[in-house]
Structure 1
Amino acid sequence: MLKGKVYLLQTCNTCKRILKQVKIFGDFDVRDVKKYPLTTEEIDDLAQKAGGYERIFNKQSQKYRQLGLKDKVLSEADYRKLLSEEYTFLKRPVFLIDDKIFIGNSNSTVDLLTKYLVSNK
């Protein structure tokens, strides 16, 4: 059984549903990013694995709209700063398995995650 990490919100029904769906294929250390916020080093590591800070940034966050960020041009440094200040800016869930990263809750991401887990069990 594969081992990995998952970063999510325990109160998020979508995150819980996805975790329940894939838990049969792997063993995951679950981290609630609200209770245990990511360190700057962890954010840097996720961004490096994902190919940039924007790739792990949640543009669907209510805070994103409240702050009017959708009307601004943000740099990678801006995304990094925002991610380190507010847990809701992390696109969730984030699964880390081996050297792979799976970010967000889109059907295509969940399908890729499931296929990876099934093919490596």
Structure 2
Amino acid sequence: MKKVYYLKTCNTCTRIIKELHLSSEFILQDIKSEPITVKQVEAMKALAGSYETLFSKRAKLYKEMDLKNQDLTERDFKHYILDHYTFLSRPVIIIGDKIFVGNSKKTIEAAKALLN
């Protein structure tokens, strides 16, 4: 499978998608207009190793809800990711059995290397 979970309104996501020169084989899913499903987040977790890896601690709601001062479990991370798209660290790029989560330079370079 070749898929990207992203936000169409996020400049960083759109820049990264352009930078990667993704082929038409990729399925792009705007998580705001097409929310992720339980099955999808479970598949991402299977590749990433944990829900915490998929969770964005930079989300505005994370600070507003004071989640950093709570002891969150894997179950909590899954719940929040499914509850609101902002909690998914973006973009999530899946290429076969490899997953790349987030927008760090290192992550994007690794995805780019796999594509070339």
Aligned-CA RMSD value: 1.3
Aligned-pair CA distance for 1:24: 5.1
2:80 corresponds to: 82
Gaps of 5+ in 2: none
Partner AA of 1:17 in structure 2: R
After superposition, give the CA deviation of every residue in 1:39-92 in whole Å (9 maximum; x if it has no partner).
111111111110000000011000000000011110001101111111110000
TM-score (norm. length: structure 1): 0.91
Aligned-pair CA distance for 1:7: 0.3
Q: Is the 8 A contact 1:26 1:117 kept in 2?
A: no
Aligned-pair CA distance for 1:27: 3.7
1:12 corresponds to: 10
Secondary structure (helix, strand or coil) at the match of 1:58 reads coil
Among candidates 107, 110, 113, match of residue 109 of structure 1: 107
Percent of aligned pairs sharing the same letter: 40
2:89 corresponds to: 91
2:71 corresponds to: 73
> How many Å separate the matches in 2 of 1:24 and 1:5?
10
Aligned-pair CA distance for 1:28: 1.7
Partner AA of 2:62 in structure 1: Y
Gaps of 5+ in 1: none
- How many residues end up aligned between the 2 structures? 116
> How many Å separate the matches in 2 of 1:91 and 1:27?
23
